């Protein structure tokens, strides 16, 4: 599935493992982190979190 980045509008491709997913994803185009809740490939919630630097992203993913 695809969704559009809230930061830059570019499409972000997500694999099958994201059909039911709640957490953060990163836009490859602008490195923004988006918080998403997906169920059966539908977007229930999407929220812009921040522009990421790698160390911040790692810390964020460890908290989940």
Identify which of residues 41 and 50 has a Cβ nearer to Zn ion in the complex.
Answer: 50
Identify which of residues 14 and 40 has a Cβ nearer to Zn ion in the complex.
Answer: 14
**46 C-beta neighbours (distance < 10 Å), count:** 15
Q: Residue 35 and residue 15: Cα distance in Å, rounded? A: 16
The residue among 45, 50, 49 whose CA lies nearest residue 22 is 45
| Binding track, positions 22-51, relative to Zn ion; x by CB under 5 A | -----x-xx-x-------------------
Contact residues for Zn ion, defined by CB under 5 A: 5, 7-8, 27, 29-30, 32
């Amino acid at each position: 599935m695809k969704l559009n980045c809230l930061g830059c509008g570019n499409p972000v491709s997500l694999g099958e493992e994201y059909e039911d997913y709640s957490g953060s994803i990163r836009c490859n185009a602008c490195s923004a982190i988006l918080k998403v809740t997906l169920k059966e490939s539908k977007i229930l919630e999407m929220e812009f979190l921040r522009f990421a630097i790698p160390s911040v992203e790692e810390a964020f993913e460890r908290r989940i």
